[in-house]
Chain A
Amino acid sequence: MSIVELEDVSFQYKGSKEGSLVNVNLNIEQGQTVLLCGASGSGKTSIIRLINGLIPHYYSGELEGEIRVADHDIKKTELYELAGKVGTVFQNPRSQFFSVDTDGEIVFGPENIGLEPKEIKARMNDVVAEMNLEEILGRSIFDLSGGQKQRIACASVAALMPNIILLDEPSSNLDFDSIELLRGIILEWKRQGKTIVISEHRLWYLKDAVDRVLYIENGRIAKEWNGEEFACLSEDEVKAYKLRPVVLEEELIKEIRGDCSSSVCETDPSIVLKDFYFSYKKRPYLILKKKFKESDGDLLNLNIPELKIPEGKVIGLVGPNGTGKSTFLRCLCGLEGDCKGKIISDGVTYKGGQRLKMCYMVMQDVNHQLFTDSVKSEVMLSLKDKDTKRCDEILDSLGLLEYKDTHPMALSGGQKQRVAIASAIASDAKILLFDEPTSGLDYSHMEKVAELLKRLSLSGATVIVSTHDPELISECCDYVLGLNHGKVLYLKESARD
């Protein structure tokens, strides 16, 4: 029998002009694993929110139709009654933790529903053993990598022993190996007979785990495949639906995992990086800071004596979570003052604060770097000569001219990212750095970013982009730079066609 029933459901968020779901009918049987795919904003997340009751109880709006989940009429059920029945793993690891420590997080749910401490401890031990979490127990949430955070999120949901588990784009911030672990957790839940609904852009890791795949378009279920049909979809079909690939090429997997033989190719013309050393560990002396050398080895989180980076190309920076990609970017653009690296370009040496002027980093969370009250003033802030014509040119080239008087925070995620790129162009930086620009983006948005990165490099800038996204690499990267434990493992031409 159906455990989730949506009958002719339509929903429109308060304050939005269009309906986000239109006449959706969906029955999910006990024990099924269902994948929801489709473009951003198509309504995948809304379906997840209907099943866990956040719509209509937390996100209000106009709701029509009937929703029954595990014999509860969602409209008449309080959210806390669903706590032991429906569990949700959210996309953003930063904002789904209530505790500051891992143990506290796992027991948080069971404590809320008032279970006996003995029972809670037994559940915690089970979950920890099942998901191999021993090594990350008793740690601060803020010290965990993205992959570890997501595993704790899964564990804290599992501790409530819900029959239905929902995952809302769980892999967005994960590297290849963490995704493999996530896949293992999903398969284990499937084996336990749980009903699983996953909304996701990355499809390859789910292809042999799902029973049904629903393609959502403009708030409707536009197409449905069963598991086998989905795994056999041809590359062209997948592209036509604007989905990310279902099958990954071996070569790309190796590249993205940093699993290639160590070699550094010579390029010309190139930008030379010298003496990039950095360590997060406490400096050994109280007052004077120690100057690091190559021989400090394991103490260093970044250890690059010399590296030649191809000029005017797009370079993909790859390697597992926590291997030093972000550290490399931060040191390169001079944000870590303790790193005394030099950048030599066209015979000119840039050190210290000068690096900040020649590099510009577009951060993963672009909200942090938009300060002003309009798109135009955002760009003008970076323009040295305050030339309005140049500002309009830049905005026009990024398709932002019509928004020039809009408040940046009122824009969509993709548009905000383009505003950040616009100010990067305005700042005349020679090296543009991007920290995981496509995590959580659907295929067509990812394609747009790839297109933009290529254009930036053609206009003369050197683009370095850290990423876990194999599709982005095959779309736009000319070179791949693999890091491992802060050291350069390889620099080679990308395997793209």
Chain B
Amino acid sequence: MKLDPRTKLFMIFVVSLIVMMSATTPFLWAIRLSITLIPIILLITEKKYASALRFLLAYGTALVLTFYFLSAESEGLIASLLIGYCGIVVQFMPALITAWYVVRTTKIGEFMSCMQKMHIPDGIAVSLAVVMRFFPTIKEEYSSINDAMRMRGVMFGGGNVLKMVEFRMIPLLFSCVNIGEELSAAAITRGLGGEAKRSSVVELKLGVADYLLMTFLTAATVIFVMFKYCL
């Protein structure tokens, strides 16, 4: 399935909005659950079956826990830990997974073209594109650093939490700064930041899937807000 970047941005917006607003009635919960299905379907279209299953299990557990075992009166360490866990899974995971899907499936060229269509200034579009470009780099650097730490047997910083973070962050920051500096030098020599208006070879067109999804998302938002605040 190929979605337009504009649909994807709208999708992130709606998913985060609805998932973050508290659902108070069973009907609102139904809307919220159907929105949560979106990231699961996305994971499946990306052939991440194991991740989809894991997310489904985590989400299901969190829901069951919230409804049957936890209440506003819950006390104690385990209950508060569980509330934290459920809160994160129920409120943030759907939005996070949607965002991950968007970053993973959108090419930088498509993203830039989309920004142009929406008349976002080049400066902002380029900065956002660099952020997207940097995610995989950070992941790559982080995993090499992790390897190095395992080899030296300092995975846990000798039991010192502060060291554990320091050993990871310092090399990561150094290499990201270096890569960033070289990256911008390379981009500037290829004309980034010039006075000419950027063009784009990617032609974006909204398809049937885009219209359907957008209609669904809009309807869900409108109904959710209406039932929550107006009725």
Which of the segments B1-9, B23-31, B80-88, B177-185 contacts the partner chain?
B177-185
Contact B182 A81 (CB under 8 A): no
* CA–CA, A427 and B191, complex, Å: 48
Contact B190 A356 (CB under 8 A): no
Which of the segments B11-19, B64-72, B163-171 contacts the partner chain?
B163-171
Contact A99 B171 (CB under 8 A): no
Smallest Cβ distance from A96 to chain B, in angstroms?
A: 4
Contact A142 B136 (CB under 8 A): yes
Mark B117-152 against chain A: 1 for CB-CB distance below 8 A, else 0.
000000000000110110011001100110111111
Number of interface residues of B (CB under 8 A): 53
Instruction: Classify the secondary structure of B's interface with A.
Output: helix
A100-B107, A356-B153 known; A363+B50 contact, CB < 8 A = no
Contact A409 B191 (CB under 8 A): no
Contact B136 A100 (CB under 8 A): yes
- Asked if A98 is an interface residue, CB under 8 A from chain B, the answer is yes
- Asked if A14 is an interface residue, CB under 8 A from chain B, the answer is no
* CA–CA, A368 and B173, complex, Å: 10
A357 / chain B contacts, CB cutoff of 8 Å: 153
Contact A95 B194 (CB under 8 A): no
Smallest Cβ distance from A285 to chain B, in angstroms?
A: 11
Contact A120 B199 (CB under 8 A): yes
Please report which residues of chain A, range 131-181, place their CB below 8 angstroms from some CB of chain B when the two chains form the complex: 142, 156-157, 160
- Asked if A294 is an interface residue, CB under 8 A from chain B, the answer is no
Smallest Cβ distance from A19 to chain B, in angstroms?
A: 21
A286-B50, A368-B145, A370-B171 known; A100+B108 contact, CB < 8 A = yes
Contact A371 B166 (CB under 8 A): yes
Contact B109 A103 (CB under 8 A): yes
A286 / chain B contacts, CB cutoff of 8 Å: 49-50
Contact A363 B109 (CB under 8 A): no
Contact B191 A160 (CB under 8 A): yes
Which listed residue, A96, A367, A371, touches B149 by the CB 8 Å rule? A371
B175 / chain A contacts, CB cutoff of 8 Å: 365, 367-368
Contact B108 A80 (CB under 8 A): no
- Asked if A397 is an interface residue, CB under 8 A from chain B, the answer is no
Which listed residue, B49, B151, B154, touches A360 by the CB 8 Å rule? B151
Closest 6 CB pairs of A and B: A83-B191, A80-B194, A114-B196, A112-B191, A369-B148, A95-B182
Given contact pairs A96-B183, A117-B200, A368-B147, a sample of 6 additional A-B residue pairs in the complex whose CB atoms are under 8 Å apart: A88-B186, A92-B182, A98-B186, A111-B112, A112-B192, A114-B196
